[in-house]
Amino acid sequence: MLMSQDYAVVFYRVLGVRETLFLRVISPYFYFTTGVNSCTIVLMQKILLYYKFTPIRDPEAVKLWQKTLCDSLQLRGRILVSQHGLNGTVGGDIDDLKRYVKATKQYPGFKDTVFKWSDGSRENFPRMSVKVRRELVGFKNSDDEFEVDEHGVIGGGKHLKPRQVHELVEQYGDDVVFFDGRNEHEAKIGKFKDAVVPNTNTSRDFIAELESDKYDDIKNKKVVTYCTGGIRCEVISAMMKKRGFTDVYQIDGGIVKYGESYGDDGLWEGSLRVFDDRMTVNFSDHTKTIGECTHCGGKTSNFENCARAECNDLVLICEDCKQNPDLLYHTEACRPKVEAV
């Protein structure tokens, strides 16, 4: 029997033609419901996000190991393996995810990996994909752009816990600059207040941005880089220091960890763009909507792909405008090309 003193048990009684009693066991791992003729056990699911920079001599072997492990646990998601380490997002039953964490940490280089838990399930991913890549993040860096040892990226920015970010701002005020390490479209729905948002459509655009003179005025300020889970800033902060930024930091665990600590009651505002079926994540029930519909200017956090297949850029389109097929395009220049097909 599942009932135990370890669980809080809540009863629901629904009166109708037939009386049915529902029993729900509240637990971090499962709940179940019982009716007159049935009992259903539902395993609760989560999503894990993680990365670890550490030298890997044989990425192909690690790929095969990770794919076999994930398939045995019925997980879905995406994992990248490179000579620099491991980067993954996987969803599944909580118990299976715990087994995955335990098994992954048995690899010597991954024993200190920090795993971040997020709401979601395996259904947020179409399949389990494990691939080998030259880079964990596709900046198209040269092979000597940065180095990795067992402690991570060599020469990266100083890690700050969310609390330390606030302490830095309180102490230095306007001398602290937030620098968005994501692609530009992600900042349209959520960012740190007054953050610098580089003009980047893809990760490959960052080197040219940093090597331009756009940011010369902040190179001697305290620059706090941030990104979704922290992995991009491990590299970006090292790239910035190499290009003359003198005092660079990164938020430990990225926006995800900051949101867990402060929700929407700190320095972050808006929604977080994520790259699975959820599309966006909010940190509270009072998240501010800062995105604007490309057509009517109304507030929205809803992204749609441009209807022109050759464009396919992500567009902010509110739910009302989304109902009009003629408005499912990126720019005015895209619409005539759609109509002409």
Query: Among this protein's residues, is 227 annotated catalytic?
Result: yes
Identify whether the C-beta of residue 225 lies closer than 8 Å to the C-beta of residue 240: yes
- Kindly state the DSSP code that residue 299 receives in the 8-state scheme: B
- The 10 Å CB-count burial string (b at 16+, else e) for 265-277 is ebbbbbbbbbebe
* φ and ψ at residue 83, rounded to 5 degrees: -65, -15
Cα–Cα distance measured from residue 290 to residue 265, given in angstroms and rounded to the nearest whole number: 15
The neighbouring-strand residues paired with 223 are 177, 248
The β-bridge relationship of strands 222-226 and 280-281 is unpaired
Which two tokens mark 103?
């098994």
Q: Name every residue whose Cβ is closer than 8 Å to that of residue 131 and which is 6 or more positions away in sequence.
A: 63, 78, 79, 80, 81
Amino acid 234 reads E
Which helix (H) or strand (E) is 148 found in, with range? strand 148-149
> Could you give the CA distance from residue 182 to residue 228 in angstroms, rounded to a whole number?
8
Of 227, 293, 318, 334, which one is the catalytic site residue? Answer: 227
Q: How many helices (H) and strands (E) does the chain have?
A: 9, 21
φ, ψ of residue 200 to 5 degrees: the values are -130, 125
The residues, ordered by sequence, that sit 6+ positions from 21 with a Cβ below 8 Å of its Cβ are: 11, 12, 13, 34, 35, 36
C-alpha to C-alpha distances, 127 to 64, 124, 273, 317, nearest whole angstrom: 16, 9, 20, 28
Instruction: Report the catalytic residues.
Output: 227
